[in-house]
Amino acid sequence: MSTSNRRSFITRGAGVAAVVTAAASPAAAQEKPVKKVIYANGKKPAGTPLFSSTVQFGNLIFIAGVGAHEGEKEIKAHTKIVLDQIQKQLESAGSSMNKVLKCNVYLNDLKDYKDMNDVFKGRFGEEPPVRTTIAAAGGIPGDSLVEIDVIAYV
């Protein structure tokens, strides 16, 4: 390629780049996502908490592991308590169970897998999220039989 052809190509290329940059400017001018902590009852706790239970980043909602620390010590009861709490947290953040993308289930004992699934099935709609289920070595904090965390969108 001759020097004049290269200059012509570069000039045309620069023009295209300028058009692409101009077209991208409105998107670039949009605000970047920010981390927003959603507090229970809308109140920030006194002092610094150990972790946040619900965080929104852009249109994503992250809910920390929820366990059952009350009620009957039985896997079906604990699973229902946990899923009800997750649903409440999602709805307070403007989301829903149908908008959950990823779910992690931690069981105190893998023998509870079938009974947990009996309660879990259908709670996330016709197209459930991707899911990982494990038995937590050493158990789950707070003597819960199950702990679940999720990622959803608004």
The closest alpha carbon to 67, from 57, 53, 55, belongs to 53
Q: What percent of the chain has pLDDT over 90?
A: 69
Check whether residue 140 and residue 78 sit in a common domain: yes
How many domains is the chain partitioned into structurally? 2
What does the pLDDT read at residue 104? 98
- Per-range mean pLDDT, top range of 29-38, 64-73, 91-100: 91-100
Q: What is the CATH number of the domain that holds 144?
A: 3.30.1330.40
Check whether residue 39 and residue 13 sit in a common domain: no
Check whether residue 43 and residue 96 sit in a common domain: yes
Check whether residue 5 and residue 77 sit in a common domain: no
Question: What is d(CA 7, CA 11) in angstroms, rounded to the nearest whole number?
Answer: 6
Check whether residue 3 and residue 70 sit in a common domain: no
What does the pLDDT read at residue 72? 87
Check whether residue 121 and residue 139 sit in a common domain: yes
Check whether residue 126 and residue 66 sit in a common domain: yes
What does the pLDDT read at residue 4? 57
Residue 23 clears pLDDT 70, i.e. is over it = no
Check whether residue 13 and residue 66 sit in a common domain: no
Question: What is d(CA 101, CA 130) in angstroms, rounded to the nearest whole number?
Answer: 6
Check whether residue 6 and residue 43 sit in a common domain: no
Q: Is the pTM higher than 0.75?
A: yes
Check whether residue 17 and residue 91 sit in a common domain: no
146: left (phi over 0), alpha (psi -120 to 50) or beta: beta
Check whether residue 111 and residue 49 sit in a common domain: yes
In three-state form (DSSP H/G/I as H, E/B as E, the rest C), the secondary structure along 105-154 is EEECCHHHHHHHHHHHCCCCCCCCCEEEEEECCCCCHHHCCEEEEEEEEC
Task: Say what the alpha-carbon torsion angle 63, 68, 74, 76 is, to the nearest 10 degrees.
Answer: -30
Q: 66 lies in which domain range? A: 35-153
What is the DSSP annotation of 69-90?
Answer: -SS-SSHHHHHHHHHHHHHHHH
What does the pLDDT read at residue 56? 97
What does the pLDDT read at residue 12? 53
Reported for 61-65, long-range contacts at CB under 8 A and 24+ positions apart, including other chains, are 61/90, 61/93, 61/95, 61/150, 61/151, 61/152, 61/153, 61/154, 62/149, 62/150, 62/151, 63/89, 63/90, 63/149, 63/150, 63/151, 63/152, 64/149, 65/104, 65/106, 65/147, 65/148, 65/149
Check whether residue 18 and residue 41 sit in a common domain: no
